[in-house]
Amino acid sequence: MSNLIHHYQPVPSEFTLWVESVWMTENLDSQDKPVVVLPDGRVDIHFFSLPDAPFQTSLAGIDTQASCTEISAGSRVCGIGFYPLAVEYLFHTPLSGLLNGRANLEQGFWNITEQDTRDFDIFKLKVFTQLAQLDISDIDARKLKMFTALHQSQGQLKVAELADLCHWSSRQINRYFNQWLGLSLKAYSSILRFRASFPTLKAGKLFPESDFVDQSHFIKEIKKYSGHTPKQLYQNQDDRFIQLSILK
């Protein structure tokens, strides 16, 4: 039995343009726990509370491949999962250099302290309070329409379809994705389709939904982004696939 405790909370509807969820994972064991972080199309802020170490905050860019890490014994990790629109309008800094990478942030992001991360209810309320104080205006209507359609379709729309929908050329869209996120729209859409398979994999449905051409394509894409078969993800041995474990 795993001693990893997970908390997960989707954000209220007024924040869903920018943020998908807030979460927390605690390792109550006396040993470090290996975990696998899967690509999910999100940009994350992580808050690390580690025994005998300073409180740390880091920014994680878009992942295109699974990564292995450890959650230290007695530690807590809190996170905020942002949608890509937040990169330009909340962070105001391109994250193309953080593709599959991480960067430390200065202490005090959104005034969140180590004390705030000791209780998930306190942490999420602090995050929601900070989100409510943001004053964001002059959002490019093309980008808003593009990201809304992209996430509602779970990556199913082709580049040309999105270009027609938001009245923005395919070249401009791909330039935007490469500048701000470090990958093409096609690559990002493929990650969204992989992310959309998480609930069905967790439920043990090891066959393709409409997002994949056939069983072979399904298995190939799952292994491409996770390094594991659909069956291994479903089994989730030792609670290692952290995003599947967090899902209700």
Mean pLDDT on 121-135: 93
The answer to whether residue 234 is domain-embedded is yes
CATH number at residue 223: 1.10.10.60
Whether pLDDT at 203 is above 80: yes
Residues 129 and 168 in one domain: no
Residue 228 phi, psi (nearest 5): -140, 165
CA–CA gap between residue 35 and residue 246 (Å, rounded): 12
**Count of structural domains, the chain:** 2
The token pair at 195 is: 């992310």
The token pair at 42 is: 């999100």
| Highest-scoring range by mean pLDDT, 3-17, 115-129, 130-144 | 115-129
Q: At 213, is the pLDDT very low, low, confident or very high (cuts 50, 70, 90)?
A: low
H helical segments located in 57-184: 85-86, 120-132, 141-152, 159-166, 170-180
Residue 47 phi, psi (nearest 5): -120, 115
Whether pLDDT at 1 is above 60: no
pTM of the model as a whole: 0.93
CATH number at residue 18: 2.60.120
pLDDT at 123: 97
Residues 127 and 10 in one domain: yes
Q: At 211, is the pLDDT very low, low, confident or very high (cuts 50, 70, 90)?
A: low
The answer to whether residue 245 is domain-embedded is no
Pick the last residue of a domain from 81, 114, 136: 136
CA–CA gap between residue 36 and residue 55 (Å, rounded): 22
Mean pLDDT on 209-216: 69
Beta-carbon contacts of 227 under 8 Å, excluding residues fewer than 6 positions away, are: 36, 65, 66
User: CB atoms < 10 A from the CB of 60, how many?
Assistant: 21
Residues 174 and 98 in one domain: no
CA–CA gap between residue 63 and residue 114 (Å, rounded): 26
Whether pLDDT at 209 is above 70: no
Q: What is the DSSP letter of 215?
A: H
CA–CA gap between residue 60 and residue 46 (Å, rounded): 8
The token pair at 31 is: 């040993």
- Identify which of 68, 101, 78, 105 has the alpha carbon closest to the alpha carbon of residue 181: 101
The string of pLDDT tens digits covering residues 69-97 is 999 999 999 999 999 999 999 999 999 99
How many residues make up the chain in this entry? Answer: 248
